Amino acid sequence: MSSTLALATGMVLPQLVGAKAASERASVAWINPCIFLPHKPIEPITITWTMGSSDNDCLYQPPVDTSEMSITERGLTCKYLDIVSTSEGGDCRRRSSKWGLSYNTTSPGSEDISGSAVSAWSNGPKKSEISVTGSTSSPGTSICEGEYLCENRRMEWKRSRHGQVWIIFRPFAARPRYTNPPQTEPNILDDDL
């Protein structure tokens, strides 16, 4: 369900009321995860999104932690999940919040794809920020300000507003060739050899 449709039908109104109160002291964002497929799937792919992980820290998320979407075409397929906000209580004021999101296929006979991302959230006096890193996210994961492909690994928004965050997963992104930087060949003219 798109965020526009959810607003029009009033399905997220109770969450918005709580999110408005939370936004005065915390970062609040509408989460829209997406999958990019470079080809049309042979059979429709059912994706199950799981919000939250053991890495969650200083963050509020909705009580329903899974949601499904179907992919039938190549390109970008997105789904509005819910509102997530940081916690400002206790020692959370002094550190970044962390939130996990993962997906996997649940339809028999479809392509087997899965991935995950752990995002770091931080609050500044005027801006909120979310970021993902390669070490905690599937290859090719990015954070965009809309439903399109981008290469951003971080995003900012005004704290006085709710962020609109699209987390883009590319299950067929190339994996890095090296886990460590490649070693250089010794210089044969080096006198120390």
pLDDT at 168: 95
Answer yes or no: is 30 within a domain: yes
Answer yes or no: is 98 within a domain: yes
Answer yes or no: is 179 within a domain: no
Residue 58: domain span: 3-169
DSSP assignment of the chain, as one string? --HHHHHHHTTTHHHHHHHHHHHTTS-EEEEEEEEEESS--SS-EEEEEEE--TT-BSEE--S--EEEEEE-SSEEEE---EEEEE--SGGGGGS-EEEEEEEEE-STTS---EEEEEEEEEE-SSEEEEEEEEEEE-TT-EEESSSS----SEEEEETTS-EEEEEEE-TTPPPPS-SSPPPPPPPTT-TT-
pLDDT at 160: 72
Answer yes or no: is 61 within a domain: yes
pLDDT at 94: 66
Two tokens at 74?
């190549």
pLDDT at 174: 67
Answer yes or no: is 105 within a domain: yes
Answer yes or no: is 151 within a domain: yes
pLDDT at 150: 93
Bridge partner list, 119: 99, 132
pLDDT at 175: 55
Q: Give the pTM.
A: 0.74
Please report, in tens digits, the pLDDT of each residue of the chain (193 residues total).
444 334 333 444 334 434 444 444 577 889 999 999 999 998 899 999 998 776 667 877 766 678 899 999 999 999 998 888 877 766 676 677 888 899 998 777 677 889 999 888 887 778 888 888 778 899 999 999 999 999 999 999 887 778 899 999 999 886 544 344 444 444 444 444 4
pLDDT at 68: 92
- Domains in the chain: how many in total? 1
pLDDT at 103: 94
Q: Which residues contact 136 (CB under 8 A, 6 or more apart)?
A: 55, 117, 118
Answer yes or no: is 110 within a domain: yes
Bridge partner list, 77: 35
pLDDT at 85: 80
pLDDT at 82: 86
Answer yes or no: is 137 within a domain: yes
∠ CA 61-64-67, rounded to 5°: 110
Q: CA-CA distance, 53 to 14, in Å (whole number)?
A: 24
pLDDT at 124: 78
